[in-house]
């Protein structure tokens, strides 16, 4: 049997986390000692492993509780499911790594890279995930309308829209030394806003929020870092100037 302190050290989680999992009924201790201490046995160790796997896959705690609370839940089939899902993630991350390597080589002048290839590591599945997250941040119907608009374009039109977006970011990097309030930067923000209309038409507040998201969400920031490590921050500053000028 392991105490809270021992299990927390073993699993790399805090004791407070284990207490919280107990309080919400997600991971109960195997038994309570006469001293009131929680003790965890082997079954609890494997259940905690399951929780951590599900958390690694970005599944909310409430959903994990539902999954693990099913009468037919078993550790071995769950592990096999994790293995399959992690294999997909490894493959996706490898594609992203290759895209990063190709972009680095392109920016160093070592190889040619089309604008389409800049986004080659991002799958339709990942875009659907971003859309689902966007529905939690913005009006769900607006996001769904945006998805319908995007899917209404032909493959060639989608390619041209993405290429224009990539070109805007490339040009933005080139004029960064001039500052976010420069006429060149503001003209590019206007082009960016018009390019955004192919997806949806955000109001000024949403436009500024989107630029902030590029910095606050590591996944989005990583996309901009492929162009330049300072691009996401520069975009946020430039968009803020643009929004302030429109009010």
Is 185 inside a domain boundary? yes
59 and 158 both lie in a single domain? no
Most confident of 104-108, 133-137, 185-189, 227-231: 185-189
Exposed / middle / buried, residue 233 (Cβ in 10 Å: 0-12, 13-18, 19+): middle
Is 113 inside a domain boundary? no
The full DSSP string for 116-139 is HHHTTT--HHHHHHHHHHHHHHS-
Looking at residue 206, which CATH number applies to its domain?
Answer: 1.10.490.50
Phi/psi region, residue 37 (left: phi>0; alpha: psi -120 to 50; beta: rest), is beta
Domain around 50: 2-73
Is 100 inside a domain boundary? no
**Total domains present in the chain:** 2
Q: What is the pLDDT of residues 38-95, one digit of tens each?
A: 999 988 988 999 898 888 777 888 888 888 888 888 888 888 887 887 787 777 677 7
Is 79 inside a domain boundary? no
- What's the pLDDT at 134? 47
Pairing of strands 31-32, 38-40: antiparallel
Polymer length of the chain? 247
């Amino acid at each position: 049997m392991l105490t809270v302190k021992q299990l927390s050290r073993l699993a790399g989680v805090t004791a407070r986390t284990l207490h919280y999992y107990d309080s919400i009924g997600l991971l109960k201790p195997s038994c309570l000692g006469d001293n009131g201490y929680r003790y965890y046995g082997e079954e609890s160790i494997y259940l905690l492993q399951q929780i951590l796997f599900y958390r690694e896959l970005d599944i909310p705690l409430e959903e994990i509780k539902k999954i693990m609370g099913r009468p037919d839940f078993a550790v071995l089939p769950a592990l096999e499911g994790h293995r399959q899902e992690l294999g997909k993630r490894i493959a996706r991350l490898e594609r992203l790594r290759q895209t990063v390597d190709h972009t680095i080589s392109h920016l160093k002048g070592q190889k040619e890279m089309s604008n389409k290839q800049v986004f080659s590591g991002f799958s339709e599945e990942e875009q659907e995930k971003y859309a689902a997250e966007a529905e939690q941040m913005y009006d769900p119907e607006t996001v769904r309308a945006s998805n319908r608009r995007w899917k209404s374009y032909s493959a060639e039109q989608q390619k041209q829209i993405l290429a224009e977006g990539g070109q805007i970011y490339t040009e933005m990097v080139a004029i960064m030394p001039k500052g976010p309030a420069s006429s060149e930067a503001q003209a590019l923000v206007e082009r960016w806003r018009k390019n955004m209309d192919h997806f949806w038409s955000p109001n000024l507040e949403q436009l500024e929020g989107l630029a902030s998201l590029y910095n606050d969400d590591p996944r989005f920031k990583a996309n901009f870092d492929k162009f330049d490590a300072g691009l996401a921050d520069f975009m946020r500053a430039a968009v803020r100037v643009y929004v302030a000028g429109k009010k």
